[in-house]
Structure 1
Amino acid sequence: MSLNSAEWVRFELEGTIGAIRFNRPKANAYDIDFMRAFNAALDEANACEGARVVVLKSDLEKFFCAGSDIRTFSENDVETNKAMVDLARAALAKIETSSKFYIAVLSGHALGGGLEIAMACDLRIASEGKYLLGLPEVKLGLLPGNGGTQRLLRLVGVSKAMELMALGDNISPQEAHRIGLVNRLYPADGFDAAVAEDAQNIADGPPLTLAALKKSLQQGCEMGLADGLQLEANLVDDLYNTHDAQEGFKAFCEKRPPVYIGK
C-alpha cells in the first residue's frame, strides 16, 4: 500500500530524543508536498518540550534522501519549483535556528538536497558502507540551492568544496569522515546503538548551554575575532546564574552525574 504525503515525514518522541523519519520509497526524493510535511514535522519537533535532541533518519535501507525528485522538478513550472525550494530553505533554517540539537543519521545515499539537509544539522553520524554522499547538481546545469555551497565550504574548506561541487563527485562515508563532512563513523554492526548512545549523551547535557553553543559557533564563524569573543562572553555570562550551571558545579563537587532541567 502506497503512503500519502502526510506519512512521508513523521515526528516521534522517545524519552528526551525526538526523531524525524523519512519514508518515501524508493529514495526519499522530495517534492513540494514532502517539503510541506518536513516543515510540519520540524515545527512539531521544535515545539516539543520533551525533545532535547532530534535525530533525522530514514526508514529506507538504501537512502537517507536523494534530494529533489528530478522527474517532478523537470515537469513543474519554474514558479512551482521555486516554491518548493523556498520550503526547503525554510526547513533548513528551522534546524539551524532551533535551540534543540539536531543529528543527521546516515546509513544510505545522501545526495543533492538530501546532503544539504544533513549539513544543516549540528552533527552528522554515519555508518560504514557502500553508499554515497555528494552534491552533483552541476551535472544538471545547476548549483546546490538549499545552502549547499555555503555549508559545505564551512565544513570542509573552500578548496575541497570547490572540487566536490565543480566535478559533481560523490564520495564514500569513509572519505566524508576523513575530510570532516561526517563527524562520526561507526561500523554497521552496532550502528543504531552507537547513535542512540551519542544522542542520549547530548540530551543528558544542559539544554541552555547547547543552545548557546550553537549560537556561538553559527554566528561566531561569520564575525571577526573580537566580535566573536564578545558574543561568547555575552552567552556565557547569561549562563552563570542558571539552575543548570549551579547544578553542574554542585554535581561535580558531589561526584555524581548532574541532572539538568533547562533552566
Structure 2
Amino acid sequence: MKPFLYTRQGGLAIISINDAPWNKMTLEFMDELETLIPKLKKDSSIRAVLFTAEGEENFSAGMNLKELGPKLANPNELEALFDQRLRVLSAIELLGKPVIATLFGYCLGGGLELPMSCHFRLAAKEGCKIGLPEMDLGTVPAWGGNTRLTRLVGRMHSLDMVLRSKKIDGPEAYRIGLVNEVVENNQLKNRAIELGLELTTQPPIAMREIMPVIIKGDDMSQDESFRMERQAVLNTLGNSESQEGMMAFLQKRKPVFQDN
C-alpha cells in the first residue's frame, strides 16, 4: 500500500496520508515525501499544495514508534532519521508555494509538526486532539516542533502545550493562533481544496518572492528584512505578472496569471 496518495486538481497538488485510521508517518512515508517535494518545487504547473489524510478519523497520530525502536541503539541512525525529518519539513516550509494542511482527529507529534511547516492550517470544529505529547514518552519533540510552535503561538502557549503534553481542540487552536480557520467536520477537506484553488490563481513569481521574506523575517534584523523585501519588489516589477496585474486593474477585470 502506498504511504500517501497523490492527486491533482488543476494547479493544486493533493497529498493524502494513506494509512487510515491512524495515518502514521512511516519511514517509507518520509522517504517518498523527500523525493516528491523537489518535484513539486520544480513543476511550475503546481501552484499550491494540500496535505490531508485518508479516512475521517485522524490526520495523523505521528511517527510509527515501532520503527523507531531498532534505531535507538544506534545514535548515528537516530540522528540521520531526525535530520531527514527536519530537512523534509524545512523543504515544505521553503517550497516557495503555499501549502495547506487539514487537522482532524489525532494531530499528534509528527502529525502536528508537519502541519506547522505548512503555511495554512484548517482544523475541524469537533474531535481534534492537537498536541506534542512527547513528554508522556519521557522525551521531547524532535522534528522542529518546539521552535515552530513557539513562533506560531508564543512562549506561554508553547510551554503549556509541551510541558503538559496538552491536547487541544480546533476552536482552542484557533484562539491561540495555531490554525487559520475552524471548519465543520464534513466540510473540512472541501474547504481546504477551495482555499488551495484560490491560492493557485495568485501570481507565482510574486508568491515565490514574498514567501521567504515572511517566513525568514523572524530570523533577521528589521533592516535585513527590509532589504530582502525591496529585492522582492525589484524582482517582480515590470515582469509579465505585474504587467497583467496592472492591465487587469485598468480594465476592471480579474487578472489571469500564467505558470512561470
Query: Which category describes the TM-score, using the shorter chain as reference length?
Result: over 0.9
Residues 44 and 259 of structure 2 are in contact (CA less than 8 Å); yes or no, is this contact kept in structure 1? no
Structure 1 residue 262, shift from structure 2 partner = 4.3
Whose RCO is larger (CA < 8 A, sep 6+)? 2
Q: Which residue is 1:49 aligned to? A: 44
Residues 27 and 66 of structure 1 are in contact (CA less than 8 Å); yes or no, is this contact kept in structure 2? yes
Q: Which residue is 1:38 aligned to? A: 33
Which of residues 8, 27, 32 in structure 2 aligns to 1:13?
Answer: 8
Residues 32 and 83 of structure 1 are in contact (CA less than 8 Å); yes or no, is this contact kept in structure 2? no
Q: Is 2:61 aligned against 1:61?
A: no
Shifted more, 155-164 versus 194-203: the winner is 194-203
Q: Which residue is 1:118 aligned to? A: 115
TM-score by length of 2: 0.93
Q: Which residue is 2:181 aligned to? A: 184
User: Aligned partners of 1:43, 1:242: CA distance in 2, in Å?
Assistant: 25
Residues 27 and 67 of structure 2 are in contact (CA less than 8 Å); yes or no, is this contact kept in structure 1? no
How large is the Cα RMSD of the aligned pairs? 1.6
TM-score by length of 1: 0.92
- Report sequence identity in percent: 28
Unaligned runs of 5+ in 1: none
Unaligned runs of 5+ in 2: none
Residues 136 and 168 of structure 1 are in contact (CA less than 8 Å); yes or no, is this contact kept in structure 2? yes
Q: Is 2:222 aligned against 1:222?
A: no
Q: Is 2:253 aligned against 1:256?
A: yes
Shifted more, 141-150 versus 30-39: the winner is 30-39
Structure 1 residue 115, shift from structure 2 partner = 0.4
Shifted more, 70-79 versus 108-117: the winner is 70-79
Structure 1 residue 92, shift from structure 2 partner = 0.5
Residues 3 and 26 of structure 2 are in contact (CA less than 8 Å); yes or no, is this contact kept in structure 1? no
Residues 29 and 68 of structure 1 are in contact (CA less than 8 Å); yes or no, is this contact kept in structure 2? yes
Q: Is 2:65 aligned against 1:70?
A: yes
Q: Which residue is 1:97 aligned to? A: 94
User: Aligned partners of 1:259, 1:235: CA distance in 2, in Å?
Assistant: 21
Structure 1 residue 229, shift from structure 2 partner = 1.4
User: Aligned partners of 1:62, 1:120: CA distance in 2, in Å?
Assistant: 22
Q: Which residue is 1:133 aligned to? A: 130
Post-superposition Cα deviations, 1:197-249, rounded to whole Å, max 9, x if no partner, equal 21111110111111222111112111122221121111112111211111111
User: Match for 2:24: what amino acid?
Assistant: A
User: Aligned partners of 1:189, 1:35: CA distance in 2, in Å?
Assistant: 28
SS in 2 for 1:63: coil
Aligned length: 258
Shifted more, 75-84 versus 14-23: the winner is 75-84
Q: Is 2:159 aligned against 1:162?
A: yes
Residues 4 and 15 of structure 2 are in contact (CA less than 8 Å); yes or no, is this contact kept in structure 1? yes
43 and 228 in structure 1: CA distance in 2 versus 1, 3 angstrom threshold = closer
